Amino acid sequence: MSQFDVLFEPLKINKLTIRNRIVSTAHAEVYATDGGMTTDRYVKYYEEKAKGGCGLCICGGSSVVSIDSPQSWWSSVNLSTDRIIPHFQNLADAVHKHGGKIMIQITHMGRRSRWDGENWPNLMSPSGIREPVHRATCKTIEEEEIWRVIGDFAQAARRAKEGGLDGVELSAVHQHMIDQFWSPRVNKRTDQWGGTFENRMRFGMEVLKAVREEVGPDFVVGLRITGDEFHPDGLNHDDMKEIAAYYNATGQIDYFGVVGSGCDTHNTLANVIPNMSYPPEPFLHLAAGIKEVVDVPVIHAQNIKDPNQAKRIIEAGCVDFVGMTRAHIADPHLIAKIKMDQVDQIRQCVGANYCIDRQYMGLDVLCIQNAATSREYMGLPHIIEKTDGPVRKVVVVGGGPGGLEAARVAAERGHNVTLIEKADELGGQLTLAARAPQRDQIAGITRWLVMELERLGVDIRLGTAADENLVRELKPDVCVLATGGRPFVEQNPEWGADEGLITASWDILSGKVEPGKNILIYDTICEFSGMSTADYAAAKGSLVELVTDDIKPGVGIGGTTFPTYYRSLYEKEVIMTSDFLLEKVYREGDNLVAVLENEYTGQREERVVDQVVVENGIRPNEELYYALKEESRNKGQIDNEALFDIKPQPVLSESGDGMILWRLGDCVSQRNVHAAMYDALRLCKDL
């Protein structure tokens, strides 16, 4: 008997049997281009989940029903035209072929969008109140428009049905049109569409009625709602129970999806897709509360990443289906792996929120650690087949994410792989990143890769600094350098790195240097490293000022992640100063003086501190590369045309003497985890 049997108990939604209790819930993929049509990329992305065993995919987060709810900002699916129907047929076939079911979320986003593009619409909302996250101003929707949008919902549902999808999910979450009507915070109307409970409910009820009339009783219609908006003037949990019960009483809703938190402020938005700073399933209680008042299945997603966790939730009866959406982005085969008794081989989501943070910037959703996700259409594999070509000796130097991924992929291909790492542990910069408060889970990326390397029998040599002689001795056919970089603290000689006046952020995070009592952290990068260093030092009791020449500290961090840093930094009274350059550091007695200069006025300020920490990015470690470059067969070059086309590197099929030499990751130039792992995968998958 498998401990996970409870996850594999099929359950019906309306008349639709879902093969297991695991759902990929609606999220914006940002893959629907060509005016909001689902593409080959889109289809393959969902097909992979279905192939991996996912019970139900609800695709198309915030797919629009009307032309005045813009789709282009997030390349969302456009259901305002019949042109979508054949695209849906491809999508439905691809998922059904593997026994999965697929529905789509449909919505009118109301005020929660941008008007400054596409058709340049006037955005609409019940009372014309501005939405802060998108800085979106809007008009007050008129009666005629209300009825038109209701009709648009019905037509969109028809298109989903005609396209062969298994159902639609009405979005009444994230402050879209339906819940804009619900919430007294933004619905100030005094006509039949506002004021009393029934009036506020009316728009949603009319949408439901129209949709049901169009699609009939058997087509699945679900409703996704929040469990609590977490705004004092918004809908609280009791309100939401009342609303859920009210809609449930119609008998027309086939399931409820429940999300904790509203999201029309930056801070609440971060709750919606809880990053690694959150505990597991932080808002399950809200979904369980809704389940108490409805009699159809309840779906809940939010930080459910682990099969044991999913099983526990289902077994406890809190909800009927668990959403494991980011978990599927990290590993679309997670269910197959549960079934294959390979739970240890699941690449688990670490909550880095690279996916959603890209989405909020209007960029396609990608996984920080799984470069194959959403690139299935390009031929990037989730399951790496053994090579039927020659078995090669592969030496990878550097055990950061890029090197680990290269070693993993090469080993999966069946090659003999040796991985050399200078440090005593693997992980590279991930190890540093994981030392910051609430950032420990990022080490999960390393953990999985190391477990895979062990499973695959890679020869791992720790505490070994590779030089050209060591590499030569190993006689590799292919040598992959992923030697990373080192802090670039000497860029401005006035900082006094050579005189030991400044400390690199890495040395603080690694614990090599104790944070001082009163410190200034100068961060030119404005991503995780500076914020993490500040948070780490503050947690150790330092008084911290975080200074950047950029427009705000952490500006490079995405929308679901900077709020959790801010919560932590403000709470620890870290002073965040923007628009100042670090001009110079000098010693004065026991103290250091940091000279800052305002970028816009040139005005200078000084800070007397006992430690100046600099985060200025890294310089690549390229010595080994240049030592080996000349003797290598390909002179260290990567054929970019083949690389970008996901084709095998031509040098692999050419004969010649000497090793093939590639370098990837930060030892080329500083990019990020995904970039290093993407290069590792696309280079090594054809090895």
Q: Which is nearer to other proteins, 341 or 473 (CB)?
A: 341
3-state secondary structure of 439: coil
Min CB(17)–other proteins separation in Å: 5
Torsion sign across C-alpha atoms 63, 66, 67, 70? negative
Min CB(451)–other proteins separation in Å: 14
Q: Which is nearer to other proteins, 20 or 441 (CB)?
A: 20
Stretch (H or E) spanning 24: strand 22-24
Min CB(4)–other proteins separation in Å: 8
Long-range contacts of 289-293 (CB under 8 A, 24+ apart): 289/227, 289/237, 289/240, 289/241, 290/225, 290/227, 290/240, 290/241, 290/244, 290/256, 290/258, 291/256, 291/318, 291/319, 291/320, 292/241, 293/241, 293/244, 293/245, 293/248
Q: Which is nearer to other proteins, 17 or 491 (CB)?
A: 17
Min CB(9)–other proteins separation in Å: 6
Min CB(373)–other proteins separation in Å: 22
Q: How many other C-beta atoms lie within 10 A of the C-beta of residue 267? A: 14
Contact between residue 33 and residue 39 where contact means Cβ atoms under 8 Å apart: yes
Q: Which is nearer to other proteins, 1 or 590 (CB)?
A: 1
Min CB(318)–other proteins separation in Å: 20
Q: Which is nearer to other proteins, 20 or 353 (CB)?
A: 20
Among 189, 253, 188, CA closest to 219: 253
Q: Which residues sit at the interface with other proteins, rule CB under 8 A?
A: 1-2, 4-5, 8-10, 17-20, 98-100, 338-341, 388
Q: Which is nearer to other proteins, 342 or 510 (CB)?
A: 342
3-state secondary structure of 684: helix
Min CB(393)–other proteins separation in Å: 21
Stretch (H or E) spanning 447: helix 443-455
Residue with tokens 């005020």: 111
Lookup: tokens for 9: 């108990």
3-state secondary structure of 68: coil
Question: What are the helix (H) ranges across 294-400?
Answer: 307-315, 325-330, 334-339, 354-360
Residue with tokens 């010595």: 623
Lookup: tokens for 332: 């679309």
**DSSP assignment string, 131-178:** BTTTTB--EEPPHHHHHHHHHHHHHHHHHHHHTT-SEEEEEE-SS-HH
Q: Which is nearer to other proteins, 54 or 253 (CB)?
A: 54
Q: Residue 604: what residue type?
A: R
Min CB(297)–other proteins separation in Å: 14
Q: Which is nearer to other proteins, 337 or 439 (CB)?
A: 337
Strand partners, 417: 394
Q: Which is nearer to other proteins, 17 or 250 (CB)?
A: 17
Min CB(417)–other proteins separation in Å: 17
Contact between residue 328 and residue 54 where contact means Cβ atoms under 8 Å apart: yes
Q: Which is nearer to other proteins, 457 or 511 (CB)?
A: 457
Q: Which is nearer to other proteins, 287 or 338 (CB)?
A: 338
Torsion sign across C-alpha atoms 411, 339, 10, 249? negative
Lookup: tokens for 27: 């999220």
Min CB(399)–other proteins separation in Å: 24
Helix axes 528-539, 562-571, angle to 10 degrees: 30
3-state secondary structure of 121: coil
Min CB(322)–other proteins separation in Å: 17
Angstrom distance (rounded) from CA 663 to CA 481: 4
Min CB(55)–other proteins separation in Å: 8
Spatial neighbors of 165 by CB under 8 A, at least 6 apart, are 88, 91, 92, 102, 103, 104
Min CB(391)–other proteins separation in Å: 13
Q: Which is nearer to other proteins, 10 or 650 (CB)?
A: 10
Min CB(454)–other proteins separation in Å: 12
Q: Which is nearer to other proteins, 3 or 491 (CB)?
A: 3
Q: Which is nearer to other proteins, 165 or 497 (CB)?
A: 165
Q: Which is nearer to other proteins, 290 or 460 (CB)?
A: 460
Min CB(338)–other proteins separation in Å: 8
Q: Which is nearer to other proteins, 1 or 573 (CB)?
A: 1
Angstrom distance (rounded) from CA 616 to CA 525: 6
Strand partners, 299: 257, 321
Among 628, 269, 244, CA closest to 420: 628
Long-range contacts of 563-566 (CB under 8 A, 24+ apart): 563/266, 563/267, 563/269, 563/270, 564/270, 564/275, 564/277, 564/278, 564/438, 565/531, 565/535, 566/267
Q: How many other C-beta atoms lie within 10 A of the C-beta of residue 607? A: 22
Angstrom distance (rounded) from CA 558 to CA 560: 6
